[in-house]
Amino acid sequence: MKVGLVLSKTPAYSETFFLTKIKGLKVSGFEVILFAQRNDNDFSLCDVRLAPVVNKRNKLIQLLKVLVVLIELVIKSPKPFFKFIALEKSANRSLHQIVKNLYNNSHILKSDLDWVHFGFATMAIQSEHVAKAIGAKMGVSFRGFDLDVYPLSHANCYELLFKHVGKVHAISDYMLQQGYKLGLSKSKAFKIITPAINISTFKNENDPALMLNSILTVARLHWIKGLKDTIKAMALLKQKGIDFKYIIVGEGSEYNNLVELIITLQLTNHVFLVGKKSHDEVINYLKNTQMYIQYSESEGFCNAVLEAQAMGLLCVVSDGGALPENVLHEKTGWIFIVHHLYIKMVKYEIDRINKKIFCNTQ
């Protein structure tokens, strides 16, 4: 059986969940083909087929490339080509969008597969008809960004995907329930497979002298991670005269806002944004930490919290998303109530609209 795994890029060494998935499928006798937009690390664990490159700078060259790809599809894969067009038309997509989708999905459309699995729900957008066009079944994985963040600014983005998907993989029950809220039929087949870690890699070898009053969070610098509220809580610790060091590992769009908040609250000697770190470096931070905090508005599951628990850290998390499925309250950590996500959703939309209005008046 041939399985096509669709990702934006080939998985890095640290993305063990995809590497393990591919290895497991191969050991079980499946042939795995990875479809991606780019191969940044000379990935060789399985066959890799890249999407055609889009030339945004030269429209004439791009037009010629589109013609070459479409002609090749008609000659080599006529049945999928015309079936895909028919399916796209049935969804009332414009001719321009249909041609664009043919080009971007051409590397999959000319492949012989039994299953097409999208590693992220967002990867399936504008590719919803690919599996049916080549006579394959379609699966998709539900992860945090897919269902908690992307739909906030893209209403009904999964309407076609939910119609055509054959089976759903969710990383938590919370993610599955979010899918239902967004329109997934409860009749669709599903399997909940939570993330996991190799506990032999995360041993409780912490040095008590180094971890004194040290606090850690590993997260993207994004509003959904609740970092602003966490930093404000650190200001309360300072007011009480508690000496501490709070390290945030990660990068993202909120960096400048968080820096400004740290300066405003006079926490420059207590809170440190250290940027993105390798997996080995993260383990070292965990070894030298007393407490781990993840006060997210929502989490699909959160591997970082699993790792912190395995290292024996004091774990303080919110009840956002699937975190209550991850941490055993008062056994492996403590779960605290966070503001409901919909409040943040409303604030996000208001800020986005206000920003748009402000830009249009300049």
Q: What is the largest CA-CA distance in the chain?
A: 74
Q: How far is CA 128 from the centre of its chain?
A: 19
- Strand pairing class (115-118; 245-249): unpaired
- Out of 88-102, 180-194, 201-215, which region has the weakest mean confidence (pLDDT)? 201-215
Mean pLDDT of 283-295: 91
According to CATH, what is the number of the domain 2-192? 3.40.50.2000
Provide long-range contacts, Cβ within 8 A and 24+ apart, for 277-280. Answer: 277/249, 278/14, 279/13, 279/14
pLDDT-derived band at 210, boundaries 50, 70, 90: low
pLDDT in tens, 241-260: 988 999 999 999 999 999 99
Contact between 89 and 98 (Cβ < 8 Å): yes
Count CB atoms within 10 A of the CB of residue 29.
7
- Triad 107, 110, 114: Cα angle to 5°: 100
In the prediction, which pLDDT does 13 show? 67
Report the alpha-carbon distance of residue 250 to residue 268 in Å, rounded: 17
pLDDT in tens, 304-340: 999 999 988 989 999 999 999 999 999 999 998 875 5
Residue position matching structure tokens 């394959």: 136
Mean pLDDT of 114-118: 97
Contact between 231 and 271 (Cβ < 8 Å): yes
Rg for the chain, CA atoms, rounded: 23
Burial status of residue 311 (CB atoms within 10 A of its CB: 0-12, 13-18, 19 or more): buried
pLDDT-derived band at 198, boundaries 50, 70, 90: confident
Per cent of the chain over pLDDT 70 is 90
Contact between 165 and 191 (Cβ < 8 Å): no
In the prediction, which pLDDT does 56 show? 84
Domain 214-344 has CATH 3.30.70.1350: no
Helix (H) or strand (E) holding 191: strand 189-192
Mean pLDDT of 204-208: 62
Q: Where in the chain is the domain with CATH 3.40.50.2000?
A: 2-192, 214-344
pTM of the model: 0.84
In the prediction, which pLDDT does 229 show? 92
**Could you tell me which residue, 360 or 51, shows the higher pLDDT?**
51
pLDDT of 111 over the 90 cut: yes
Query: Is the alpha carbon torsion for 284, 290, 294, 300 positive or negative?
Result: positive
In the prediction, which pLDDT does 344 show? 47
For the record, the structure tokens of 164 come out as 């055509």
